[in-house]
Structure 1
Amino acid sequence: MHFLRRIGLILLWLAAPVVSFAAVNKNDPYLVPLRGAGNIVLVVASIAIVIILIRGERWRSIAGKLLVMLWCLPPLLMSVAHLRFELRRHDVLSASATEARQLGPHFMVGYSSFPEVARLAERGLIGGVYVTRHNIRGRTVEALRAEIAALQDKRRAASLPPLVIAADQEGGIVGHLAPPLTKVPALATLAGLAPDDQQSKAEEFGRIHGRELAGLGVNLNLAPVLDLKPPVRRNRLDFHTLIGQRAIATDPAVVSTIASAYVRGLEETSVGATLKHFPGIGRVRTDTHHFSANLDTPVRELEATDWIPFREVLSHSRSALMVGHITLTAVDPDRAASHSKRVVDGIIRDKWGYQGVVMTDDLVMGAIYQHDVCKAVVEAINAGVDLLLVAYDGAQFYRIFACALDGSRQGKLDAAMLRASEARLEQGFPTAQARAASSPMRVVDKDQPFAN
């Protein structure tokens, strides 16, 4: 028994700093699973351990007093972290109507709480929402459709433009609303077909996605993937990007053909496409969900290979363009492409002449979030990015919006860039399509067969 008590004390000494770390970082995206009930469990467990230690008279020794104090820390640290979050949240929700009108349209947010996102929507603090698997898990299609319609109703009641409603339905391993929506094969499965068959099948895949998404009230699909398929090799630390399973092909011409047809199918249903992840992550082995990554390929080589599908599809569609969090070292070695003015304004806007909507990949990804988020937010807006995506952990919206708010109040935001971006969002895709799709259509039968 004495031996077991010693083991128990050792475990308490080891666990105390771990629990304290979790408490002070309770709002970190990596600790999302601990939120809610998890936080309550940590607090209750900490208090229970303190009571047990005191009742067991462990506090009489200096070491015992220190252990008791260590286990008193988690509830206190969690309270401080919660207070800090609430103060930031209050600051964002207290933004003036002018600030909301200036900054809100540039943010797209994922959500878990409908009342919370509805509040942001009706105050004009966001321009779009992102729906994913947890929004439909355990629910019916009709329930999610009604929820999206309710958000749009709140926007109309507040005399605000319709929200952009985005989802991630690539097909294959990325189909966050399937089931209950149809699980469509990856576009890569079409690469071996004859060109005519590639186009007909890809268009049909696009129409299936488009009809079902439009039926929910979704008007923007974060697809297709235009990164070139990398060599057959896997980075053991790539847990989420998995671009080898998502990219269409190694041949830019095949990617262009299939992606163009898929986009046509989507656009037939008034659902917009998003081409991703410029400047191309097929050559990058590092997973930007967790780490920074460099793309060291010369621009001339990228223009002759990886960038062909992006330019080709953009030239004859209304697609938005998603910029990834990789650093294009030949152009701007100091920052990720998603907030690089040399990349967004210099290449995409000036060199290519693209004046459609540019959005970031999720700002909650480690390549951005683990660094200076506020700097990235301000630089992205000043670079000409139109939509800043906060998808995985919607609670981070308050931190990220606060960065833009502080930047605006300190005069760090480029007013001309904001005006140009506002015009793109108002006049072009996706706002025009959001208006067209704000009245949901019927969802097609998820068992509908593919066209031959």
Structure 2
Amino acid sequence: MKLLRVTGAALGWLTLATLWFWAWHLKDPHLRFMREAELALLLGLLVAGIALAWRFARGMARPVALGLALAAVLTALCNEAASRQHRANVQAMSGPAAQVLGAHFIVGYDDANDLRELARKGLIGGIFVTGRNVRGRTAEQLRGEIAGLQALRREAGLPPLIVATDQEGGAVSRLSPIVERQPALSTLLDADVPGNALSERARAYGAQQGRALAALGVTLNFSPVVDLRPSRAPGRWDFHTRIDERAISSDPALTTQVALAYAQGLESAGVRGTLKHFPGLAGVAEDTHHFAAELRTPVARLAARDWKPFQEVSTQSDAAIMLGHVILAELDAKYPVSFSRRIVQQVIRGEWGYQGLLVTDDLTMGAAYNHGLCDATVRALDAGVDLLLIAFDHDKYFDAMHCAQRAVQSGALSLPMQERRGAQRLQSFR
């Protein structure tokens, strides 16, 4: 009987700690699937916990348990109130200053109607279309949806929205079946053909894909993957990155050849490619969708091998570069590459001289979000990153935009600097 009481008490304290942790992390992207019912469910469980604590707790355990439960209730309600306030503040924004900040955000969506006012007022710079936007729909419906948003921009006298997607081919083909599914780019290497023929095949592949994307209104494709193929098997907790399946080759020269021809094929159809994921994920075992990750490969080796496709393709095409959420401790031990001012300014903009578009990987991925979305947003903008992607949990756009606005008001971000950068590098989409 005593063992049963001890076990019950331990489970009770563990449950209470879990609920408190949940309240502190209310609306975490990992819980997006239950967003509509999340607060009600959490509060219901906390009320039940309070009742149980009142009924079964004894001595000092009762006030401690009740205090923790009530603190969790207040924490959840405060987080909900802050989220609603951020949304309201952003929706009330307008004018040139808001448009300068908004131009840096690409957001995903469930319902395009939720984006209409943001697009019309210039509070976003682009949209991200993916599997949830094509499921059960026709190409004509998606094309009309995108065209409707672009019409709002024209009527407001604003530049067109950047329309981005993730159509790599193979396992990552977000717009299929609306866009014909193509095999992974790496399959082009299966045929033993001369170098010129390989480039032609890759260029034709890109042109075919580009025409299909352009017909929908897509202007930026987050492809090709130019991370080198790792020699090791994927880690046990690698659920989504799976670079071994998505990389073109482990050979930098072959990767460069195929990626360049593919990017040029996309561009022939009016779609720009994106080289991802700098600084290269071949040496990363963790899945940045969920966990913090560190790249331990020496910078000298990265420069000699992994960075070659990024440098060479970017100098011969208009491809953007996507920044991954990995820490490259040799250059910046504190912040992921995606919002490291030192790496962006000293390496990419400085040593490389790259002046094209830089876009973050999705800031709602765990490796970035767990650093603090506000901090990641402000640091990425301050570092000179052009486009901030908030795709999976697009509600987080309101928190990020609110943070950017506060940073401008406090002087932590220079609005004139953001305006100059936008004019220089986003001009090609206007």
Partner of 1:446: none
**Aligned with residue 100 of structure 1, among 74, 98, 101:** 98
Report Cα offsets for 1:112-153 as digits up to 9, x if no partner: 232222221112111011111111222222222211111111
Report Cα offsets for 1:79-135 as digits up to 9, x if no partner: 443222111112222334133122110111111232222221112111011111111
Partner of 2:3: none
The alignment's TM-score, normalised by the length of structure 1, stands at 0.84
Between 338-347 and 412-421, the greater mean CA deviation after superposition: 412-421
Aligned to 1:378, the other structure's residue is in SS state helix
**Aligned with residue 186 of structure 1, among 157, 179, 184:** 184
Partner of 2:158: 160
AA in 1 matched with 2:133: N
CA contact (8 A) 1:385 1:421 kept: no
CA distance in 1, matches of 2:379, 2:157: 30
AA in 2 matched with 1:150: G
Between 7-16 and 115-124, the greater mean CA deviation after superposition: 7-16
CA distance in 2, matches of 1:352, 1:97: 35
Aligned to 1:282, the other structure's residue is in SS state coil
Partner of 2:242: 242
**Aligned with residue 83 of structure 2, among 82, 85, 103:** 85
CA contact (8 A) 1:148 1:217 kept: yes
Deviation at 1:157, TM superposition (A): 1.6
Partner of 2:345: 345
Q: Following superposition of structure 1 onto structure 2, how do residues 44-443 of structure 1 map, counting pairs within 5 Å?
A: 78-193=76-191, 194=193, 195-415=195-415, 417-428=417-428, 431-432=429-430
Report Cα offsets for 1:139-184 as digits up to 9, x if no partner: 2222222111111111112111100010000111111111232111
CA distance in 1, matches of 2:232, 2:198: 23
CA contact (8 A) 2:94 2:123 kept: no
CA contact (8 A) 1:234 1:285 kept: yes
Aligned to 2:395, the other structure's residue is in SS state helix
AA in 1 matched with 2:305: T
Partner of 1:33: 33
AA in 1 matched with 2:202: A
Taking structure 1 as reference, are residues 10 and 366 closer, same or farther at Cα in structure 2, changes over 3 Å only? closer
AA in 1 matched with 2:285: R
Between 252-261 and 35-44, the greater mean CA deviation after superposition: 35-44
Partner of 1:450: none
Report Cα offsets for 1:224-266 as digits up to 9, x if no partner: 0011111132211111111111111011110011111111111
Aligned to 2:303, the other structure's residue is in SS state helix
Taking structure 1 as reference, are residues 14 and 335 closer, same or farther at Cα in structure 2, changes over 3 Å only? closer
Any unmatched runs of 5+ in structure 1?
Answer: 1-6, 433-452
Taking structure 1 as reference, are residues 160 and 41 closer, same or farther at Cα in structure 2, changes over 3 Å only? same
CA contact (8 A) 1:59 1:68 kept: no
CA contact (8 A) 2:109 2:394 kept: yes
Taking structure 1 as reference, are residues 114 and 39 closer, same or farther at Cα in structure 2, changes over 3 Å only? farther
CA distance in 1, matches of 2:50, 2:331: 59
What is the aligned-residue RMSD (CA, Å)? 3.0
Between 71-80 and 273-282, the greater mean CA deviation after superposition: 71-80
CA contact (8 A) 1:198 1:258 kept: yes
Aligned to 2:168, the other structure's residue is in SS state strand
Taking structure 1 as reference, are residues 244 and 66 closer, same or farther at Cα in structure 2, changes over 3 Å only? same
Aligned to 1:233, the other structure's residue is in SS state coil
CA distance in 2, matches of 1:18, 1:331: 37
Deviation at 1:198, TM superposition (A): 2.3
Aligned to 1:394, the other structure's residue is in SS state coil
CA distance in 1, matches of 2:244, 2:254: 16
Between 292-301 and 398-407, the greater mean CA deviation after superposition: 292-301
CA contact (8 A) 2:226 2:309 kept: yes
The alignment's TM-score, normalised by the length of structure 2, stands at 0.88
Deviation at 1:396, TM superposition (A): 0.7
CA distance in 1, matches of 2:51, 2:409: 50
Deviation at 1:329, TM superposition (A): 2.4
Between 239-248 and 283-292, the greater mean CA deviation after superposition: 283-292
Q: Following superposition of structure 1 onto structure 2, how do residues 4-15 of structure 1 map, counting pairs within 5 Å?
A: none
CA distance in 1, matches of 2:287, 2:49: 41
AA in 1 matched with 2:107: V
Between 80-89 and 254-263, the greater mean CA deviation after superposition: 80-89
AA in 1 matched with 2:381: I
AA in 1 matched with 2:232: V
Report Cα offsets for 1:346-398 as digits up to 9, x if no partner: 12122222211111111111111111333322222222111111111101111
Which is bigger in relative contact order (C-alpha 8 A, separation at least 6)? 1
AA in 1 matched with 2:329: T
CA contact (8 A) 1:169 1:222 kept: yes
Any unmatched runs of 5+ in structure 2?
Answer: 1-6
Aligned to 2:327, the other structure's residue is in SS state strand
Deviation at 1:73, TM superposition (A): 8.3
CA distance in 1, matches of 2:63, 2:306: 62
Partner of 2:4: none
CA contact (8 A) 1:99 1:405 kept: no
